[in-house]
Structure 1
Amino acid sequence: MVLKAFFPTCCASADSGLLVGRWVPGQSSAVILAVVHFPFIPIQVKEFLAQVQKASQICRERGTRLWSCKATYHQMSNTPDTPTEDQVMLIFYDQRKLLLSWLHPPPVLPDCQIGDTPASTGGLADIFDTVARSEVLFRNDQFDEGPVRLSHWQSEGVEASILVELAKRASGPVCLLLASLLSLVSAASACRLWKLWPLSFIRSKLSTCEQLQHRLKHLSLIFSTEKAQSPMQLMRKANTLASVLLDVALGLLLLSWLHSNNRIGQLANALVPVADRVAEELQHLLQWLMGAPAGLKMNRALDQVLGRFFLYHIHLWISYIHLMSPFIEHILWHVGLSACLGLTVALSIFSDIIALLTFHIYCFYVYGARLYCLKIYGLSSLWRLFRGKKWNVLRQRVDSCSYDLDQLFIGTLLFTILVFLLPTTALYYLVFTLLRLLVITVQGLIHLLVDLINSLPLYSLGLRLCRPYRLAAGVKFRVLEKEAGRPLRLLMQINPLPYNHVVHTYRLPSCGCHPKHSWGTLCRKLFFGELIYPWRQREDKQD
């Protein structure tokens, strides 16, 4: 049988003493936690050590800093006085790193270096748990107060300062006060007034409302007075705090940039000319469509009706922009102040502003899509009429049906009219769909940036970068000494968790507007003229 003795490297300098640890019977392992030094050894301790020495012995070799270990036991057989010696492996480990680390499920790691032997986490959970539970013994540290001294990694001094202790004591009342204020804000946001139809519809479609509600949940989690029940909850709270701090810092940088050199006034002065330029380009586009675009033969009457209808919408929109032009600078100034709440809030407001400024493009897209969808479904229904079939609404399937001569004549006439009007409608639908997709792409990039700031586990990534041993994916063993007749000495080192596994494990939930459909479904909707929205409904979101 092979016995494994885990020995802390910080105790290797101790000459002698009583070893404090735990025996793990399921793995035939002994985990040494500390060495107790006595100025004198009582008689009872001497007798106990004499009994223990008959079965096993861990001692330090003379002239070296390495320790040696051997274990013997007496077999219960015909020759009970014949001792049998077991094979022993002495494994040295860094007690501080092992105490602060958290063992994760084993990911797929690259090949280890030559001389290193990887180990699975299946048999290491008890070792990590034993060292983690020994933290109470080290914090009490009652042995150092008297003549008895305890050798372990904290004997040189506890890592703390008076500022940290004062911050810990003051954080309790502050968090309690802020948690009470946040609960009042949450109660106000959950009022029935916001559930009325106009307000509920606007609230569900504006990205700013979604982001503010998401940040309110983050702040409630940060200032919650409830103690974390698991390391995962503690890590999520730390990641949330880091995400909020980074968001606010970036928002303050944006605010300082906007208010320097009167950039808000410059943006306000440039907004109206840009709107006029966009409207002028749209008018040129509509006039091109009302002629002979790319040499195509269009239906003259329908082309003129659609072109004048869209030109009238552009005229209304430009009149509205000029009416609001005296108040644009004040609006932008107040919007810039929202950057104090974070860069994500400012980006969400910017996305909503883009949606409002391109509302006429959205109207064009809706008109064109509805008209095109109506003709596509009309043609498909009339095509079934020619084949002697119809759509059964109750059973949701296509059934056979017999038509008389009048129905076939009217169906043929309508089919011919729709076929000849389809190219004109399809051209308008294609142009305005491309413009709408351009706006959705810009909003999608903004939402991706907001989602990145909301969900990126910054604290975990910083911990992986600065202290990689804190997030352990397993261990590897390096051979220190291997000689015949002497115990095998190994050094246990921690394998850090890869960065992609850190992001996957500790990624925070976000309120990003992810696409609800696949590319195939999106192409099908575009072909049949179904409306495409850049947002997801509240009930479709996944945490």
Structure 2
Amino acid sequence: MNWITEKSVLIRTVEAKLLLMRTFSFTRLLALDVAISLYIWNVWAPDWNDNVDSFWKQTSHVADNLNGTINWLRDNPAGLKLNTPVNETLAWFFSYHIYLWTTFIGFLRYDVFYRYVTNSLVFGLSTFSSMIYDLSQIFFLHFNCFDAYATKLCYLCYYTLTVLWSLVRGKKHNPLRERMDTITLDTRQQFLATSLFVILLFILPTVFVYFVVFRSLRLAVSAIQTVIYFFATWPFQIFALQKYLVRKYSGKPIAEETSDSPAT
């Protein structure tokens, strides 16, 4: 429960609003926040059914585009001669993960759920954006998983290659003394180490291509979430900027700002 409280932007935003509610300057920002959200709600609410249908069409487009990306990687893009068995295995794995994600998202397809999200506009644009940000963590979960899988696999190949390269040269890392020791391998050990090194060396480009593609997708998703996070926290950022400017140019202590509060 504590983990959810720490990670949820919506909960942290509501708690911060309740904490700063007595400050008059922040109350004005909240009034502006609610005014903007009510305007958006009046524009958005009449076209509710169209907006829901458009959302699910975009969700289907995301899944189709992801499957298209996987098929593009499967066809050796840009003339790259990827390792066919590894490429097919990774493509099948990620395609199945997309299927699981679309099945999971289908459980959220309830009218009451989206009514609840839309009605959150009544409490301000920042509250609505906070809820959208938390939902985006679920909606874009597959992008994070793809990037995590590709990163772990790429790192594993790179680390194993470095170990095998040292082993082929007759070196071995000594973790106790933090140094490279010299070792002697017999013919079978040398053959096995060299074979594994060559195999991983030819597999690494395929894994690296998947890593680059999914890392790019995750960075694009992170950029979108950064924009949403800005709208979720903009009253606090403006309030902090006002405090900073007052303290820097007028020398007014921060505590004096609360003297304008109606509670005092």
Classify 1:343/1:242 alpha carbon distance in 2 versus 1 (closer, same or farther; 3 Å).
farther
Asked whether the equivalents of residues 255 and 336 of structure 1 are also in contact (C-alpha less than 8 Å), the reply is: no
Q: What is the total number of aligned residue pairs between the two structures?
A: 251
Cα deviation per residue 1:276-320 (whole Å; 9 max; x = unaligned)?
111111111111111121111111111111111111122222233
Give the aligned partner of residue 226 of structure 1. none
Classify 1:256/1:426 alpha carbon distance in 2 versus 1 (closer, same or farther; 3 Å).
same
Are positions 1:347 and 2:126 aligned together?
A: no
In structure 2, stretches of 5+ residues that fail to align are 255-264
Give the aligned partner of residue 202 of structure 1. 4
CA distance in 1, matches of 2:171, 2:6: 42
Larger RCO (alpha carbons 8 Å, 6+ apart): 2
Cα deviation per residue 1:148-204 (whole Å; 9 max; x = unaligned)?
xxxxxxxxxxxxxxxxxxxxxxxxxxxxxxxxxxxxxxxxxxxxxxxxxxx233333
Residue 389 of structure 1: CA displacement?
Answer: 3.4
Q: Which amino acid counterpart does residue 99 of structure 2 have in structure 1?
A: H
Residue 322 of structure 1: CA displacement?
Answer: 3.5
CA distance in 1, matches of 2:105, 2:140: 11
Match of 1:401 among 182, 190, 199: 182
CA distance in 1, matches of 2:141, 2:118: 22
Classify 1:347/1:423 alpha carbon distance in 2 versus 1 (closer, same or farther; 3 Å).
same
CA distance in 2, matches of 1:459, 1:311: 46
CA distance in 2, matches of 1:244, 1:399: 63
Asked whether the equivalents of residues 264 and 332 of structure 1 are also in contact (C-alpha less than 8 Å), the reply is: no
CA distance in 2, matches of 1:253, 1:347: 12
Are positions 1:281 and 2:65 aligned together?
A: yes
Give the aligned partner of residue 141 of structure 2. 359
Give the 3-state SS of the residue equivalent to 1:297 in structure 2: coil
Give the aligned partner of residue 291 of structure 1. 75
Match of 2:161 among 368, 372, 379: 379
Are positions 1:212 and 2:24 aligned together?
A: no
CA distance in 1, matches of 2:173, 2:133: 42
Give the aligned partner of residue 258 of structure 1. 41
In structure 1, stretches of 5+ residues that fail to align are 1-198, 223-237, 465-470, 474-496, 507-543
Match of 2:99 among 308, 315, 319: 315
CA distance in 1, matches of 2:189, 2:108: 54
Q: Which has the larger radius of gyration?
A: 1
Matching of residues 381-460 of structure 1 within 5 Å: 381-395=163-177, 397-405=178-186, 406-457=188-239, 460=242
Asked whether the equivalents of residues 171 and 183 of structure 2 are also in contact (C-alpha less than 8 Å), the reply is: yes
Asked whether the equivalents of residues 339 and 345 of structure 1 are also in contact (C-alpha less than 8 Å), the reply is: yes
CA distance in 2, matches of 1:293, 1:459: 48
What RMSD, in angstroms, separates the aligned Cα atoms of the two structures?
2.8
Classify 1:251/1:412 alpha carbon distance in 2 versus 1 (closer, same or farther; 3 Å).
farther
Asked whether the equivalents of residues 207 and 348 of structure 1 are also in contact (C-alpha less than 8 Å), the reply is: yes
CA distance in 2, matches of 1:296, 1:453: 49
Q: Which amino acid counterpart does residue 34 of structure 2 have in structure 1?
A: G
Match of 2:54 among 267, 270, 275: 270
Classify 1:472/1:459 alpha carbon distance in 2 versus 1 (closer, same or farther; 3 Å).
closer
Give the 3-state SS of the residue equivalent to 1:456 in structure 2: helix
Asked whether the equivalents of residues 382 and 415 of structure 1 are also in contact (C-alpha less than 8 Å), the reply is: yes
CA distance in 2, matches of 1:337, 1:384: 61
Q: Which amino acid counterpart does residue 60 of structure 2 have in structure 1?
A: D
Asked whether the equivalents of residues 254 and 343 of structure 1 are also in contact (C-alpha less than 8 Å), the reply is: yes
Asked whether the equivalents of residues 248 and 341 of structure 1 are also in contact (C-alpha less than 8 Å), the reply is: no
Classify 1:343/1:422 alpha carbon distance in 2 versus 1 (closer, same or farther; 3 Å).
same
